[in-house]
């Protein structure tokens, strides 16, 4: 992954940045484009950029706002479209930030932050590293890339097209998408190698996990999506996933489902090696 900056930036914990006159959109701005016939995203056409604002239900909106503002300040970034916890263990956190570029396209960033007395300090911003697509992708890859029921982030689409995502994950996404339209937030690129705060290797870098950030057009963090979130978690578990994390622990401390603040805003679906 490409380290964009290692400079520490202090970002305050004010409740809103909306008084600067910019138009704001809570939670997400879905300006990601649809693919062309080759599976490559085309340029987004949102009329003008917006400043990202976290959803009111976030566990820590200030942490997400700090990460988003740091990415918005990068010279090639047009707007931030989505944020998610990679890991939330105050006084440290890792925040996924998706962004569109000024000239089209976009990527995912891992923004590492730490809390101080005055707010959240941005310690590093690491961008997903681009990888070339397969010359002849198989039918399963093409089904996922061409599905109108699966929305992929820029970096996630690259992961699929490059053959970095396991077949079991591709089949699981397609199975879940038969029941609900899903917005994938991360597959491989930009995800930390280790589970945040541990020395355990995550399933994401090995292409054996995916995260869902939205279901049927509603953010997972939105309480109004709770019923659909539970349904998606159960469908994902039925596809053979050994780890299904989300806002609720559906088996009350059992071995398959889990919940914690990190997974309050997305559904994690992981498969054993």
pLDDT of residue 130: 92
Domain region containing 83: 2-127
Are 158 and 190 in contact, with CB atoms under 8 Å apart?
Answer: no
Domain check: are 123 and 29 in the same one? yes
Q: Which of residues 82, 100, 127 is at a domain's end? A: 127
Are 183 and 212 in contact, with CB atoms under 8 Å apart?
Answer: yes
Domain check: are 143 and 46 in the same one? no
In 4-88, alpha helices (H): 61-72
pLDDT of residue 74: 98
Q: Report, as an integer, the average pLDDT of 122-149.
A: 97
Domain check: are 146 and 95 in the same one? no
Domain check: are 94 and 182 in the same one? no
- Does the residue 58 lie in any domain? yes
> Among residues 75, 56, 53, which one has the least CA distance to residue 5?
75
Residue 87 dihedral angles phi and psi, to the nearest 5°? -165, 135
pLDDT: is 3 or 23 the higher one? 3
Which residue carries 């879905």 as its tokens?
30
Domain check: are 21 and 46 in the same one? yes
C-alpha distances in Å from residue 239, one per residue of 57, 84, 172: 29, 24, 6
Q: Look up residue 33 and give its DSSP letter.
A: P
pLDDT of residue 1: 53
Domain check: are 90 and 168 in the same one? no
How many domains are contained in the chain? Answer: 2
| CATH of residue 229 | 3.30.1380
Which residue carries 């039918």 as its tokens?
139
pLDDT mean across residues, the chain: 88
DSSP 210-262: EEEEEETTEETTSGGGHHHHHHHHHHHHHTT-SEEESSS-TTSS-SSEE--GG
Domain check: are 105 and 157 in the same one? no
Separation CA 16–CA 147 (nearest Å): 36
Q: Render pLDDT for 41-59 as a digit per residue (tens, 0 to 9).
A: 554 454 567 899 999 999 9
pLDDT: is 136 or 31 the higher one? 136
pLDDT of residue 47: 55
Domain check: are 102 and 194 in the same one? no
> Among residues 94, 77, 83, which one has the least CA distance to residue 61?
83
Domain check: are 98 and 161 in the same one? no
> Among residues 247, 91, 98, which one has the least CA distance to residue 187?
98
Q: Render pLDDT for 227-240 as a digit per residue (tens, 0 to 9).
A: 999 999 999 999 99
C-alpha distances in Å from residue 171, one per residue of 140, 226, 268: 8, 24, 15
pLDDT of residue 3: 64
- Does the residue 101 lie in any domain? yes
Q: Is 146 helix (H, G, I), strand (E, B) or coil?
A: helix
What pTM was computed for the model?
A: 0.86
pLDDT of residue 13: 43
Domain check: are 110 and 186 in the same one? no
Q: Which of residues 83, 100, 127 is at a domain's end? A: 127
Q: Is 87 helix (H, G, I), strand (E, B) or coil?
A: strand
Q: Render pLDDT for 90-128 as a digit per residue (tens, 0 to 9).
A: 999 999 999 999 999 999 999 999 999 889 999 999 999
Give residue 19's pLDDT band: very low, low, confident or very high (50, 70, 90): very low
CA-based R_g, the chain, Å: 17
Q: Look up residue 201 and give its DSSP letter.
A: B
Which residue carries 């566990």 as its tokens?
59
Q: Which of residues 79, 104, 127 is at a domain's end? A: 127
Domain check: are 86 and 159 in the same one? no
Percent of the residues in the chain that have a pLDDT greater than 90, as a whole number: 79
- Does the residue 134 lie in any domain? no
- Does the residue 116 lie in any domain? yes
H helix or E strand, kind and range, residue 68: helix 61-72
């Amino acid at each position: 992954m490409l380290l964009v900056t290692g400079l520490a930036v202090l970002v305050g914990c004010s409740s809103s940045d909306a008084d600067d006159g910019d138009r704001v959109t809570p939670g997400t701005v879905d300006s990601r484009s649809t693919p062309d016939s080759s599976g490559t995203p085309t340029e987004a056409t949102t009329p003008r950029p917006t400043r990202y604002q976290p959803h009111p239900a976030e566990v820590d909106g200030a942490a997400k706002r700090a990460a988003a503002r740091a990415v918005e300040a990068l010279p090639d970034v047009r707007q931030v479209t989505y944020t998610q916890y990679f890991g939330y263990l105050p006084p440290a956190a890792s925040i996924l930030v998706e962004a569109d570029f000024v000239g089209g396209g976009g990527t995912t960033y891992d923004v590492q932050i730490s809390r101080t007395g005055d707010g959240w300090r941005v310690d590093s911003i690491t961008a997903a590293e681009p990888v070339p697509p397969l010359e002849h992708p198989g039918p399963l890859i093409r089904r996922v890339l061409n599905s109108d029921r699966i929305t992929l982030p820029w970096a996630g689409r690259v992961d699929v097209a490059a053959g970095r995502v396991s077949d079991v994950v591709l089949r699981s996404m397609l199975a879940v998408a038969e029941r609900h339209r899903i917005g994938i937030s991360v597959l491989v690129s930009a995800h930390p190698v280790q589970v945040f705060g541990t020395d355990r290797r995550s399933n994401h870098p090995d292409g054996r996990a995916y995260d869902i950030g939205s279901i049927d057009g509603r953010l997972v963090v939105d309480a109004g999506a709770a019923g659909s979130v539970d349904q998606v978690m159960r469908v994902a578990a039925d596809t053979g996933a050994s780890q299904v994390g989300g806002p609720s622990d559906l088996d009350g401390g059992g071995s398959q489902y889990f919940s914690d603040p990190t997974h309050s805003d997305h559904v994690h679906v992981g498969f054993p090696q």
